[in-house]
Amino acid sequence: MDMRCTLQEHPATKLWRLSLAVLCVWALCADPAHGCQYNVREIGFIDVGIEPYRLFVYVPQVVPAGEIDDLKNTLDVAFADTNIQCEPVPAGVDANHPAARFLSAHGIDSYPAAVLVSPDGPSRRLALHAGGHLLVEAVSSSLEATLDSSTCRQILEKAADSYGVVLLIEGPRQDRNAAAREAVAAAISYMSEQLEHLPKPIARGPEMVVLDSSSLAREEILLWALGLTLQDVNEPCAAIFYGRGRWIGPLFKGEMLTDENLLRILPVIGADCECGLDHRWLQGTMLPARWDESLQQKVAASLGFDPESPMVKMEMVSIIRRGMGGFDYPGVPLGYQEMEVGGEPMGISYPSVLESNDTPATLRAKPAPAVPASGTTAAGVDVEQPQTGGVILAISFGGMVVVVAAISAVVLFRAKKD
C-alpha cells in the first residue's frame, strides 16, 4: 500500500505568515516624505560625472592611432582624481566634431595644441611646451600647472569639513575691500548662528577665503572658471562654494556684495536635499581641481559616512536624477554674472529654472534672511513641506489592521470548515 503523509499547516501559522507579509508591504508603502536623510551640502560631495571639464588635445597627423590611444589611457590614469576628461583629437577631424569649433575660436593652425572647455561653455587654450618632450609629458605638465591653485585648494579643504566657503576676490580699492570683508563676515556670522536650526545640523559654519589683488595673476584659471579676467576685477567680488568646490548662486559684484544678498544663497546649502529646488541649480559647476584621498577622508570624518560608498552614492544619484529629470543635462550654468536692482522689489530668480545663462538674475534690494528649516528656503522661496505624514501613517496602520483582521477571519473560518 502506498502510504503518503500530508502535512497540513496549522491555521495559526498561516495567519502569522500572511500577517507578516502584510506588515512588510505596509512598511514598504508607508509614507516616506518625512524629509530626506541628506542635505544639499552632503549631496554636493558626490561627482556623478555629468559636468566635467573637457581637455581637447589636438594631435599632429603624423602620430599613429595606437599612440593616440596610449595618450588617452595615460592621461585618464594620471588625472583620474580630477573632474577633467581628456580627449585626443586627430588632425583633420570632422567639422561636426565638438572640438572642431575651438580651432578657429582660438586661432589654432599648428599642432599639437590643447583647449580646456568649461561645463558652462567658455574655453581656454593651454600652453604646450612640446619641444624635446613626448606629447603626453607636455600635456601632463600643462594640465598640472592648470590645477596648481593654492586658492582652489583652500576652498576645497575648508568646504570638506565646514558648511561652505565664501570666496572674496579683492579689488584695487582698500576701502571697498574692507566693506566687502565686513559684509561677508556678517553673513557668515549670521549663518553660523542658525546651524542648530537646520533640518540636519552642521557642526561648522561657513568660512571665508580671501584672494587679494596681489595674487590675482597666479589665479587666472580660477578667475576663468568664474567668468572673469584680470581686467574684470576692478571691484570686490564674492562667490559661494560648497561640497566638492561647487559654485552655487551668482557672482556678487560691487553694490550687490552685501550680507543680505549672500544670505539669499547661503541657507540653501543646509536645506533638505529634496526641498523642491531644481538640482540642476543646486549641483553647481565645480572648480577644475584634483579631489584626492586626503580630501575624501576629511569629508568622511566630517559627515560620519563616506559619500563615495556605492550604496550611499546610488541613493544620492537617485535623488539628483529625480531633481534633474535624468542625466541628459550637459552642464550646470550657474555662472550668470549680472544682477539687477531698482524698481519694485522682486523675488530671486533661479537661473536653471526660470532663466537662460545670459539672462540677469533679479534680487530685491532689502531681503529678509531666512534659514530653510521649515517650509522656506533661501531667497524666501516657499517649499511645501509634507504636513500629512502623521495622518497617512495612521491611515496606513489602520488599513493594515483591517486587512490583517479580515485575513484572520477568513483563515479561521476555513480552518473551522475543514
Ramachandran angles phi, psi of 150, nearest 5°: -70, -30
Beta carbons within 10 angstroms of residue 122's beta carbon = 12
Alpha-helix runs per DSSP H in 270-343: 279-283, 293-303, 310-324
pLDDT tens per residue across span 99-142: 999 999 999 999 999 999 999 999 999 999 876 678 999 999 99
Angle between helices 65-78 and 135-147 (to 10 degrees): 30
Query: If residue 28 lies in a helix (H) or strand (E), which one and from where to where?
Result: helix 11-29
Say which residue, 302 or 337, is predicted with more confidence.
302
Cis status, amide bond into 112, omega within 30 of 0 = yes
pLDDT at 282 (0 to 100): 66
> How far is Cα 251 from Cα 123, in angstroms, rounded to an integer?
19
Residue 391 predicted with pLDDT over 90: no
Neighbours of 338 (CB within 10 A): 13
Ranges of each domain in the chain: 11-33+388-417, 53-147, 150-376
Q: Greater confidence, 397 or 156? A: 156
3 pLDDT higher than 80: no
Q: With a cut of 80, say whether residue 90 has pLDDT above it.
A: yes
Of all residues in the chain, the percent with pLDDT exceeding 90 is 51
Task: Give per-residue pLDDT as tens, 206-244.
Answer: 999 999 999 999 999 999 999 999 999 999 999 999 999
- 3-state class of 88 per DSSP? strand
Q: Are 114 and 56 in contact (CB under 8 A)?
A: yes
Confidence of residue 380 (pLDDT cuts 50, 70, 90): very low
pLDDT reported for residue 314: 83
**More confident: 408 or 33:** 408
Read off the C-alpha cell for 234. 576692478
pTM of the model: 0.70
Q: Any idea which residue has 572647455 for its cell?
A: 117
CA-closest candidate to residue 211, choices 165, 260, 169: 169
Which stretches does DSSP call E strand in 148-253?
165-169, 207-211, 237-242, 246-253
Strand 246-253 to strand 285-286: parallel, antiparallel, or no bridges (unpaired)? antiparallel
Query: Which residues neighbour 65 within 8 Å (Cβ) at sequence distance 6 or greater?
Result: 90
Any idea what DSSP says for residue 260?
H
Tell me the pLDDT tens digit for each residue of 139-174.
Answer: 999 999 999 999 999 999 999 999 999 999 999 999
What is the CATH T-level fold of the domain 53-147, as seen in this structure? Glutaredoxin (3.40.30)
pLDDT given for residue 26 in this prediction: 37
* Closest of 288, 352, 355 to residue 324, by C-alpha: 352
Q: In which band, very low, low, confident or very high, does the pLDDT at 30 lie, cut at 50, 70 and 90?
A: very low
pLDDT over 70 (residue 96):
yes
75/137 Cα distance (integer angstroms): 10
Give me the sheet containing 207-211, strands edge to edge: 207-211, 165-169, 237-242, 246-253, 285-286
Q: Which three cell numbers stand for residue 132?
A: 624635446
pLDDT band at 276 (very low <50, low <70, confident <90, very high): low
Angle ∠(210,213,218) on CA atoms, nearest 5:
90
